[in-house]
């Protein structure tokens, strides 16, 4: 159970919005224990060293249900003879958000895992309720990066964020796709082509490259703890930022794509009012593997490789990021 795949898949936690109970899917063929630990500012060390009594134990896997508070973040420490894994709900149960999720728990090619509670991707925070802000404060998040254009932030500003959170605006406006009125007469194939073009611009335009460079400067900052980054839907600009970040951390490509594609299920219902009226514009409100592939193909053609783009053009220091955001599930202190 020491390999990357097994550590990643040992335990998953999920629950329906508004529900106090979470469902755990455990895959294990040896004795194990599960501890629930409230979040703290030093989540990884705090959880790994916690001595709380187990809330569950067993000798094999299965489906289990546990109570989870809705007003604060809870992490779980799963311990077995061959590994110790920290996990949590990937989808944050924050009222007013459709596409807010934690990048924690994803495996890297060298067997490490992403720490939970440090990297959160999201859609806009305009409908964030006070209870949701309280939950974010417990994650804990101390920086919010907003990739939306000035017009978007003026129309739907982030709301109810705790006063101590640092807000950083890095506007990316590729293809002017936020100006949906100009695409009313587009066919579905034309809308699809626009999305492909936009993903090319996300990795070539001076504006986007500059914003991603600044984004990674923030991530490198040792004083920054939890960073939430978002745009309007949390699927394109945020999706590209997440893909570049996961690449820099050494996450395998197929998992990067899986994370990217989750937006389709998360955003169900958010844009029905628009796609019902303009069904031909559906490509603008979903994600497709081909969109992300266009971005990475463009990177390879323009810069040589994703690694060269990250380290040369964006200024990423992969080992610095990995030291900050990864942990070894087989290490003694976990």
User: Consecutive sets of 10 residues in the chain, 334 residues long: mean pLDDT of each?
Assistant: 52 84 91 87 63 88 90 89 87 91 95 93 94 88 95 94 93 74 81 94 97 98 93 97 98 97 95 90 94 98 98 97 90 54
Q: Which residues contact 225 (CB under 8 A, 6 or more apart)?
A: 41, 118, 140, 141, 142, 143
pLDDT computed for residue 5 by the predictor: 42
The residue ranges of every structural domain in the chain are: 1-89, 90-327
Q: Prior bond to 223 cis, omega within 30?
A: no
pLDDT at 152: 92
The pLDDT value recorded for residue 181 is 65
**DSSP annotation string for 24-87:** EEE--SS-EEEEEEE--TTHHHHHHT--PPPSEEESS-EEEEEE--SSS-EEEEEEETTEEEEE
Whether the full predicted model's pTM is greater than 0.75, yes or no, is: yes
CA distance 155 to 151: 6
Q: What is the pLDDT of residue 65?
A: 93
Q: What is residue 179's predicted lDDT score, i.e. its pLDDT?
A: 61
CATH architecture for the domain at 90-327: Alpha-Beta Complex (3.90)
- Please report the pLDDT score of residue 8 as a whole number: 67
CA separation for the pair 296, 129 (Å, rounded)? 36
Determine the pLDDT at residue 4.
40
Supply the pLDDT for residue 186.
85
CATH 2.60.40 fits 1-89, yes or no: yes
């Amino acid at each position: 159970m020491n390999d990357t795949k097994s550590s990643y898949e040992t335990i998953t936690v999920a629950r329906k919005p508004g529900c106090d109970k979470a469902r755990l899917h455990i895959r294990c063929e040896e004795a194990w224990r599960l501890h629930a630990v409230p979040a703290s500012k030093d989540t990884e060390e705090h959880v790994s060293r916690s001595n709380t009594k187990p809330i569950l134990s067993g000798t094999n896997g299965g489906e289990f249900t546990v109570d989870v508070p809705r007003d604060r973040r809870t992490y779980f420490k799963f311990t077995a003879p061959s590994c110790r894994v920290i996990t949590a709900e990937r989808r944050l149960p924050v009222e007013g958000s459709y596409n807010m999720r934690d990048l924690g728990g994803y495996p890297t090619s060298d067997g490490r895992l992403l720490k939970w509670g440090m990297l959160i991707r999201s859609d806009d925070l305009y409908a964030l309720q006070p209870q949701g802000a309280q939950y974010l404060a417990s994650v804990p998040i101390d920086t919010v990066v907003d990739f939306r254009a000035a017009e978007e932030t003026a129309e739907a500003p982030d709301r109810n964020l705790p006063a101590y959170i640092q807000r950083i605006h890095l506007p990316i406006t590729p293809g002017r796709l936020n100006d949906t009125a100009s695409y009313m007469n587009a066919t579905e194939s034309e809308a699809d082509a626009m999305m492909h073009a936009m993903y090319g611009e996300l990795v070539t335009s001076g504006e986007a490259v500059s914003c991603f460079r600044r984004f990674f400067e923030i991530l490198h900052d040792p004083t920054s703890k939890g960073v939430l980054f978002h745009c309007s839907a949390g699927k394109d600009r945020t999706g590209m930022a997440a893909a570049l970040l996961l690449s820099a951390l050494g996450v395998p490509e197929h998992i990067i794509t899986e994370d990217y594609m989750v937006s389709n299920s998360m955003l169900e219902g958010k844009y029905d009012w628009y796609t019902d009226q303009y069904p031909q514009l559906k490509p603008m409100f979903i994600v497709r593997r081909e969109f992300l592939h266009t971005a990475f193909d463009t990177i390879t053609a323009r810069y040589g490789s994703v690694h060269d783009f990250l380290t040369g053009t964006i200024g990423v220091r992969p080992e610095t990021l990995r030291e900050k955001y990864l942990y070894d599930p087989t290490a003694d202190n976990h």
